[in-house]
Amino acid sequence: MRTIRVLRAGMVEHSVVSREMKRLQKDRIEDLIPDTLIIVEHPEVVTIGPKARRDGVSVDGYPTSETDRGGGITWHGPGQLVVYPIIKWELEEQSVRGIIGLLEDWAIASLESCGVVSYKDSTMQGAWVDGHKICSIGLSFLHWVSRHGMSININTPGTRVEDLEGCGMVKGTHTSLHQLGYSHDKDGRPIDIRRFEDALLETCEGILNRSPQNPESWVPEVLA
C-alpha cells in the first residue's frame, strides 16, 4: 500500500498555498517528495478559473484571485475545508475524468462517515446534498502530478457562499452543511473542520488507495 503525507496548514492565504503547490508539484514530479495532501482553510477569496475569465464573469463584492485550475469560479473562506492532493498518479489511474470521480467518491464517502447522504450530478462535478452543491473540485496536471483539489463547505459565514453566482450557477446553488441542518454527525459529534478532516483521512485509503500518514503541522514559506 502506498502512503501519502498529510500537511495541516490551518488558515493561510490562497495565494501563498497556490505558490507552494507549484513548488511541491515540481518536487513530486522529480520524486523529491512523496504523494502529499495539503489540508487548509483560506481567508475569503473567490478564485476565477480560465473558463470564467473567457466568459467575462465578474464577481462584485468579493475579493478575487485568478487561478489556473479547471472550472469557473469557486468561493473559499472560513468554515470551508480545502484539500489539495499533490499526487503522482499511476499509469492505470491516468484519466482526468477518473481522478475527478475518485475525489467525488472520496467526498461522498467522507460525508457518509458523518451521516450525510450525498451524490454526484452528471452535469456538474462535485458532491451534492439535498439539491445543493457542497463540494467543488478543480484540478490541473503536469506530467500526471495533480495540483489544486477540492473544497467542502462545512459552516461558512452568513450567505457568502449562497449569494455567489456565475458559470451557470444561480444564487443558492452552493451552500454549507450547517445551512442544510447537518451540524452534527450520526454519533452526535459536531461536524466542524476537524471532524470532516478526520472523515477524509478515515476514508482516504479505501478511495485513493493510499494510506495517510499522521498529519504534520505545516507553515508555508512566505516570501517577501
Residue spans per domain, the chain? 2-217
- pLDDT exceeds cutoff 90 at 71: no
Question: pTM for the full model?
Answer: 0.93
Give the residue numbers annotated as catalytic, written as ranges.
167
Looking at residue 12, its pLDDT comes to 96
What stretches of 31-177 show up as alpha helix (H) in DSSP? Answer: 50-54, 96-113
| Residue 223 banded pLDDT, cuts 50, 70, 90 | very low
- pLDDT exceeds cutoff 70 at 56: no
Looking at residue 168, its pLDDT comes to 64
Q: Residue 91: exposed, middle, or buried by beta-carbon count in 10 A (0-12, 13-18, 19+)?
A: exposed
Look at residues 133, 135, 131 and name the one whose alpha carbon lies nearest to residue 199: 135
Look up the CATH architecture of domain 2-217.
2-Layer Sandwich (3.30)
* For range 106-122, the mean pLDDT: 97
**Between 23 and 169, whose confidence is greater?**
23
- pLDDT exceeds cutoff 70 at 57: no
Looking at residue 224, its pLDDT comes to 34
| Identity of the residue numbered 1 | M
- pLDDT exceeds cutoff 50 at 17: yes
